[in-house]
Amino acid sequence: MARIGSFLIILYLTYALTLCICDDDESMYYGGNKGNLFPGFYRSSCPRAEEIVRSVVAKAVARETRMAASLMRLHFHDCFVQGCDGSLLLDTSGSIVTEKNSNPNSRSARGFEVVDEIKAALENECPNTVSCADALTLAARDSSILTGGPSWMVPLGRRDSRSASLSGSNNNIPAPNNTFNTIVSRFNNQGLDLTDVVALSGSHTIGFSRCTSFRQRLYNQFGNGSPDSTLEQSYAANLRQRCPRSGGDQNLSELDINSAGRFDNSYFKNLIEKMGLLNSDEVLFSSNEQSRELVKKYAEDQEEFFEQFAESMIKMGNISPLTGSSGEIRKNCRKINNS
């Protein structure tokens, strides 16, 4: 574990140097402007903002590699509800009902304390300047880098919502057992296409999932008491040891059996071998010819995957941002100002 922590710190320092060299080149993996978002938004008002976020995330990931996947997931679940506005970070208070208790987030969304730490550091450096939504977007990018994944310039300038949507969280976020068509439809509703679906699903090359998210595949995928035929048998047998027919709902299994702590293209190779953990993973290979070809392409060419992942993350991060005078800059990511 100490070696892993040291490696992550070295990787972080290498990335920090790279960013210093590339910071003025806003074309690197930058998908263009969306509203008033652009990478240099805080260059004058809070020039150390990205450095501060990187530092906190690097320490968190060094303590627990899994945290990188958790922060990416928070960003994804935030953007699919009301856009990338930090609504997921709000606790229940007054008229606000938190999204943290929705089906996709309850007992699984984590990393909020890291976001709190990031925000506290930013407020200490630049009070009332950097939004929680931007802090979370940067943390997701840095989580990719710190586990060996791609880097990209993050368009910034999002503001924070003054509301949350529990129903939106329950209805907009794809579920592990959704059909291929439902998954694509939910991405399409956010302005994301099939290429984005496959590339962004590649984030499952890091992290873990709970037994309750894949138990159905092991025992009763189609309601007839039979396991999922698209799940490799020896892999399924191994999973059953950690995920019994009843109980053990919170038991964890790696989303990528080969490299759960390293961001690479192993996830796509697993899908070809019928070793995707979630139904929502394996259907990308088993249910559609176009997505199957994308899986094969990314399995063969990690650089191609990295480039598309970066582009798709920028695209997702641009979903319905609050800018200008809309929303607010929260002082505490868990509650709206003056509440």
For residue 304, what are its two tokens?
Answer: 């191609």
**pLDDT score recorded for residue 30:** 44
**pLDDT score recorded for residue 27:** 33
pLDDT one-digit tens code per residue, 240-295: 999 999 999 999 999 999 988 999 999 999 999 999 999 999 999 999 999 999 99
Asked if residue 81 belongs to a known ligand binding site, the reply is: yes
Annotated catalytic residue, options 66, 75, 77, 100: 77
Asked if residue 99 belongs to a known ligand binding site, the reply is: yes
Asked if residue 174 belongs to a known ligand binding site, the reply is: yes
Domains of the chain: 48-207+255-318 (1.10.520.10)
pLDDT one-digit tens code per residue, 56-83: 999 999 999 999 999 999 999 999 999 9
**pLDDT score recorded for residue 223:** 82
**pLDDT score recorded for residue 15:** 46
Asked if residue 78 belongs to a known ligand binding site, the reply is: yes
| Segments of the chain scoring below 50 in pLDDT | 1-33
The answer to whether residue 77 is catalytic is yes
Asked if residue 244 belongs to a known ligand binding site, the reply is: no
pTM above 0.85, yes or no: yes
Question: Per-residue DSSP letters for 230-282?
Answer: TS-HHHHHHHHHHS-SSS-TT-EEESSSS-TTS-SSHHHHHHHTT--SSHHHH
Using an 8 Å Cβ cutoff, are 84 and 75 in contact? yes
